[in-house]
């Protein structure tokens, strides 16, 4: 909305309207950094304001978190049994505040923003169903794993197909050799142009061998430390994107087992990807940092900062001892959004580094299950791995803080790799 207000003012100013000069301060809303900061602050402020009200409402509705019984996991029940009945489904607050912040500050019609919000809401709806089923049954069993995987795959498929076929994202390959030559010659001129004025045909670009800009298909995938994509997956990129979205959503869901753990790691991951999205849509940064460039990508930073602000606000109530849990409503929505961010910025493999804590949690479960089925032995005392350290004697607060430290370090490493070539 703020950007539309700026456009309305700008048109009036160019038309010579007498009142336009009085409201010249509206010019500030054209700057992405201003709108990103406002989105973060609005989401944070709304979370703080809504938090007590949402918590009271959840308590009145008796929407409390079921904890696995002593018969299921004896040690875990000893550690966390007191948390039974803590309000859950707080993820509705995260999704709601992000949506409001984006309607106020973002360009929701931007293809990258739109599809990321679709994934967030789609997987948030799945999480809501799962949480509601747990509360209704009064146990830790939600919707079936098969149904959950199918829903995640459907949401991921819509996102993947949209990104693969939507020309507003992919752009059109320049048709003639002359057009390509003219574009390459214009790279220096593009550095002086505002992002919104750069032709849409320049959708995804990477630095060519001769230092000029070359077109990059969204199906091309690169890895950190390489300037150029190393493989074009073509149509196989669709299942690849689906796997990323499913994997990221489940990884965050597994991480959300201790008070504030998932929130803290989400914040560091979001800030890192907000920086990447901003740089990936900035032609000046494109000339200095070897990452894929798309003039529409910077707007995604507004959404990511809104998510960071909302999660910061939620952490106010979710820190130990938690007054509310985000539940699957929040964790699946956040995870799917993070996976989509990585896809949109063409930094899919960098997510393994920046989101290392999420990856570590998911891998610990995979290894634990695989080892027990194949060898009849467990690798960890309990999975996900944060419970392993609890059973080794670490206090819950120690596990959370140390995992946050790891997440911060990995975010810095991931950002540093953008420049190391």
Q: Could you read off the pLDDT of 78-114 as tens digits, one per residue? A: 666 566 678 888 999 999 999 999 999 999 999 999 9
Residue 256 resides in a domain: yes
Contacts of 313 (CB under 8 A, 6+ apart): 43, 44, 45, 46, 47, 48, 51, 97
Q: How far apart are CA 421 and CA 411, in angstroms?
A: 18
* Cα–Cα distance for residue pair 296/153, rounded to 1 Å: 26
The reported pLDDT for the residue numbered 47 is: 95
- CB of 158 within 8 A of CB of 110? no
- What pLDDT score was predicted for residue 271? 97
- Is 350 within 8 Å of 342 (Cβ atoms)? yes
Does residue 413 sit in helix, strand or coil? helix
H or E segment at 215? strand 213-215
Helix (H) or strand (E) holding 205: strand 205-207
| Better pLDDT: 82 or 235 | 235
Q: What is the mean pLDDT of residues 40-58?
A: 93
Query: Tokens for 75?
Result: 């040690």
- Which domain, by its residues, includes 143? 31-170+220-416
143 φ, ψ to 5°?
Answer: -65, 160
Q: In 3-state terms, what secondary structure has residue 103?
A: helix
Is a pLDDT exceeding 60 seen at residue 141?
yes
List 293's β-bridge partners, or say none.
205
Range ranked top by mean pLDDT from 68-72, 125-129, 391-395: 125-129
Please give the residue that has the higher pLDDT: either 165 or 195.
165
- Kindly give, in sequence order, each residue whose CB lies less than 8 Å from that of residue 362, ignoring residues fewer than 6 positions away: 247, 250, 251, 254, 384
Please say if the pLDDT value at position 367 is more than 90.
Answer: yes
Q: Is residue 191 part of a domain?
A: no
The string of pLDDT tens digits covering residues 310-342 is 999 999 999 988 899 999 999 999 999 999 999
Would you place residue 180 in the very low, low, confident or very high pLDDT band (cuts 50, 70, 90)? Answer: very low
- Residue partners of 236: CB distance under 8 A and separation at least 6: 219
Total number of domains constituting the chain: 1
**Residue at 16 is within a domain:** no
Q: What is the pTM of this model?
A: 0.87
Q: Is residue 227 part of a domain?
A: yes
Q: Band of the pLDDT at 420, cuts 50, 70, 90?
A: low
Asked if residue 275 is part of any domain, the answer here is yes
Q: Is residue 187 part of a domain?
A: no
């Amino acid at each position: 909305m703020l950007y539309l207000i700026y456009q309305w003012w700008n048109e009036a100013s160019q038309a010579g309207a007498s009142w336009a000069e009085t409201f010249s301060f509206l010019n500030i809303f054209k700057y992405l950094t201003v709108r990103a900061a406002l989105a973060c602050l609005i989401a944070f402020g709304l979370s703080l304001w809504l938090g007590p009200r949402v918590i009271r409402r959840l308590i009145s509705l008796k929407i409390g978190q079921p904890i696995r019984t002593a018969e299921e996991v004896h040690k875990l029940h000893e550690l966390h049994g007191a948390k039974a009945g803590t309000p859950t489904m707080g993820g509705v607050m995260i999704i709601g505040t992000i949506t409001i912040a984006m309607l106020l500050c973002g360009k929701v019609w931007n293809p990258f923003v739109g599809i990321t919000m679709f994934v967030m809401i789609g997987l948030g709806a799945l999480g809501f169903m799962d949480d509601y089923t747990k509360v209704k049954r009064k146990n830790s069993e939600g919707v079936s794993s098969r149904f959950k995987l199918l829903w995640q795959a459907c949401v991921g498929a819509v996102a993947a197909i949209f990104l693969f076929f939507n020309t507003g994202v992919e752009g059109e390959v320049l048709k003639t050799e002359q057009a390509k030559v003219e574009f390459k010659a214009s790279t220096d001129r593009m550095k002086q142009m505002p992002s919104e004025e750069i032709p849409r045909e320049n959708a995804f670009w990477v630095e060519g061998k001769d230092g000029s800009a070359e077109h990059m298909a969204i199906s091309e995938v690169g890895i950190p430390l390489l300037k150029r994509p190393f493989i074009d997956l073509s149509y196989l990129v669709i299942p690849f994107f689906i796997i990323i979205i499913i994997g990221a959503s489940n990884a965050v869901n597994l991480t959300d087992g201790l008070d504030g753990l998932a929130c803290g790691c989400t914040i560091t991951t979001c800030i890192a990807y907000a920086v990447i999205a901003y740089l990936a849509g900035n032609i000046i940064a494109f000339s200095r940092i070897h990452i894929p460039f798309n003039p529409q990508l910077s707007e995604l930073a507004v959404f990511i900062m809104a998510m960071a602000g909302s999660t910061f606000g939620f952490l106010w109530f979710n820190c130990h001892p938690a007054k509310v849990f985000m539940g699957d409503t929040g964790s699946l929505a956040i995870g799917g959004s993070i996976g989509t961010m990585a896809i949109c910025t063409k930094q899919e493999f960098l997510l393994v580094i920046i989101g290392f804590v999420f990856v570590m949690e998911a891998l610990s479960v995979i290894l634990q299950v695989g080892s027990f089925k194949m060898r009849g032995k467990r690798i960890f005392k309990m999975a996900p791995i944060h419970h392993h350290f609890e059973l080794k004697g670490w206090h819950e607060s120690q596990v959370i803080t140390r995992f946050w430290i790891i997440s911060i370090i990995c975010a810095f490493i991931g950002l540093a790799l953008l420049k190391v070539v």
